[in-house]
Structure 1
Amino acid sequence: MRINWNYIKIGALSLVLMGLYAFSNQRNEKRKVAGINIEFVGDQNLYITQSVVNKLLIQNYGPIINVPKEKLVLNTIEKVIEANEMVKSAQVYLTVNGELTSKIVQRKPIGRIEGNSKFYLDDEGKRMPLSMSHSARVPIITGKITGKGLEDVYEILKYINQDDFLRKNVIGIHIEEEERYQLKFRMEQFVVHLGGIDNLEEKFNNFKAFYAKANRDKTLEEYAMVNLEFNNQVVCTKI
Structure 2
Amino acid sequence: MKVNWGLIKFVVVSGLVVFLFSFSKSRNENRKLTEIKIEFIDENDPFITVNTVNKLLIQNKDSVTSIDKETLVLKEMEDRLLKNPMIRDAEVFVTVDGVLGAKIEQREPIGRVAASPHFYLDSDGKKMPLSSVYAARVPLITGTSVSDFSEVTPLLLKIKEDPFMKSSVVGVHVHSNGTVDLRLRKHDCKVLFGKPTAIEKKFQNFKAFYKKTKQDSTLSNYGLVNLQFENQVVATKK
TM-score, length basis structure 1: 0.89
Does the CA-based 8 Å contact 2:56-2:77 persist in structure 1?
no
Q: Once structures 1 and 2 are overlaid, which stretch shifts more, 169-178 or 94-103?
A: 169-178
Is 1:19 the counterpart of 2:19? The answer is yes
Does the CA-based 8 Å contact 1:34-1:66 persist in structure 2?
no
Is 1:69 the counterpart of 2:69? The answer is yes
Is 1:209 the counterpart of 2:214? The answer is no
Which digits, 9 at most, give the CA deviation of each residue in 1:206-227, with x for residues without a partner? 2122122222333222222111
Look up the equivalent residue of 2:151 and give its one-letter code: D
Which digits, 9 at most, give the CA deviation of each residue in 1:98-143, with x for residues without a partner? 1211111111101111123310000000000000000001111123
Instruction: Give the whole-Å Cα distance in 2 for the aligned partners of 1:21 and 1:151.
Output: 54
Instruction: Give the whole-Å Cα distance in 2 for the aligned partners of 1:211 and 1:44.
Output: 29
Look up the equivalent residue of 2:27 and give its one-letter code: R
Instruction: Give the whole-Å Cα distance in 1 for the aligned partners of 2:101 and 2:17.
Output: 30
Unmatched runs of 5 consecutive residues or more in structure 1: none
Look up the equivalent residue of 2:107 and give its one-letter code: R
Instruction: Give the whole-Å Cα distance in 2 for the aligned partners of 1:41 and 1:196.
Output: 34
* Paired position in structure 2 for 1:232: 231
Is 1:155 the counterpart of 2:154? The answer is yes
Does the CA-based 8 Å contact 2:169-2:185 persist in structure 1?
yes
Instruction: Give the whole-Å Cα distance in 1 for the aligned partners of 2:166 and 2:19.
Output: 62
Does the CA-based 8 Å contact 2:89-2:106 persist in structure 1?
yes
* Paired position in structure 2 for 1:184: 183
Please provide the CA RMSD for this pair: 2.2
Q: Alignment partner of 2:97: what SS?
A: coil
Aligned length: 237
TM-score, length basis structure 2: 0.89
* Paired position in structure 2 for 1:165: 164
